[in-house]
Amino acid sequence: MKSSLPTSVKIAKILTIAGSDSGGGAGLQADLKVITALGGYGMSVVTAITAQNTLGVSCIQDVNLDVIEAQIDAIFLDIGVDIVKIGMLASPEIVRTVASALKRHGAKRIVLDPVLRATSGASLGGDDTAQAMMTYLFPMASLITPNLDEASLLLGREITTVADFALAAQELLDMGPQAVLIKGGHLDATHTQLTDFLMWRTLEDNLEIVQSKEFKHYRVNTVNTHGTGCSLSSAVATYLADGHDLAHSVAKAIAYVEAGLEAGRFLSIGEGPGPLWHMHAFYPTALPEEEGKY
């Protein structure tokens, strides 16, 4: 009997190029959780191995450049990629290797989360790495998603208030990416309402037009915020790969992360700040101990 099943089913294919988080809350582990939760097919290129838990990063081992390049080649030559999400690239050499390989394979859509410092304060890059990103990856990026600390490092000055966002986004946009999302989660704790600021370029009648949009949302009262930056950029990438436009993808990604933070408020994972709950759409939300804590 002839099968009535389709011979193939298209699914959005998202490649994350990032460091491994042994604690599972951030890095490529978080990326793959987000991509799967949002209905995409996740693939990974490991750029660094970290010994990491909720208390911080204790050790980082960069992956050999040839191995990074071989991972990228293996994925592009067989499976194919709809969009690339880039996270931790711990050295200028890794930045150059990734940029060269992606250019060689003609990668068209790239979401770059310029991860340079862990929430715990551990350095995951540095000034030389930041400069390499600006030189080699910013001109290739469809979107970059710095938080306030990363935007400050990239621009060489402190970005501390919402009033700084528009100028900072314009200056980052002038460095080459097609769009910039400045994340406001690192605003001081007196801000109960957070602002993320998106600026992007479009072409209309062969004229470049710069547009911007603010996304306001409330601060979830939780210490479990590990991996929020990785998760947000991966969610944006997955929604873009699924056909949503940029502003809609950002809005949906913010809503996904906010729901994950709310669901993970009472999760007990480790002794430090735990992760958001990536699978909130499929499994019960976390509850306080007296109601059945995880």
The pLDDT tens digits for 189-229 are 666 788 999 999 988 888 889 999 999 988 898 999 999 99
Q: How far is residue 51's CA from residue 46's CA, in Å, rounded to a whole number?
A: 14
Q: How far is residue 16's CA from residue 108's CA, in Å, rounded to a whole number?
A: 14
Does residue 243 have an active-site annotation?
A: no
Does residue 293 have an active-site annotation?
A: no
Does residue 227 have an active-site annotation?
A: yes
Choose, from 24, 85, 183, 184, the residue flagged as catalytic. 183
Does residue 47 have an active-site annotation?
A: no
In what helix (H) or strand (E) does residue 228 lie, and over which residues does it extend?
Answer: helix 228-241
Does residue 183 have an active-site annotation?
A: yes
Choose, from 229, 260, 264, 274, the residue flagged as catalytic. 229
In what helix (H) or strand (E) does residue 33 lie, and over which residues does it extend?
Answer: helix 27-37
**For helices 92-104 and 65-78, angle between their N-to-C axes, nearest 10 degrees:** 20
Structure tokens, 14: 């998202």
**Type of residue numbered 199:** M
Angle, vertex CA 251, rays to CA 248 and CA 254, nearest 5 = 150
276-287 core/surface letters (b: 16 or more CB in 10 A; e: else): bbbebeeeeebe
- pLDDT category at 285 given cuts 50, 70, 90 is low
Work out the mean pLDDT of the chain and round it to a whole number. Answer: 91
User: Average pLDDT, stretch 184-192?
Assistant: 71
pLDDT reported for residue 116 = 82
- When mean pLDDT is compared across 68-82, 111-125, 229-243, the lowest value belongs to 111-125
- Say whether domain 13-291 belongs to CATH 3.40.50.300: no
Domain assignments of the chain as residue spans, ordered by start: 13-291
Q: Which residue has the tokens 């406001």?
A: 184
- pLDDT category at 160 given cuts 50, 70, 90 is confident
The pLDDT tens digits for 127-158 are 899 999 999 999 999 999 999 999 999 999 99
Q: How far is residue 137's CA from residue 144's CA, in Å, rounded to a whole number?
A: 10
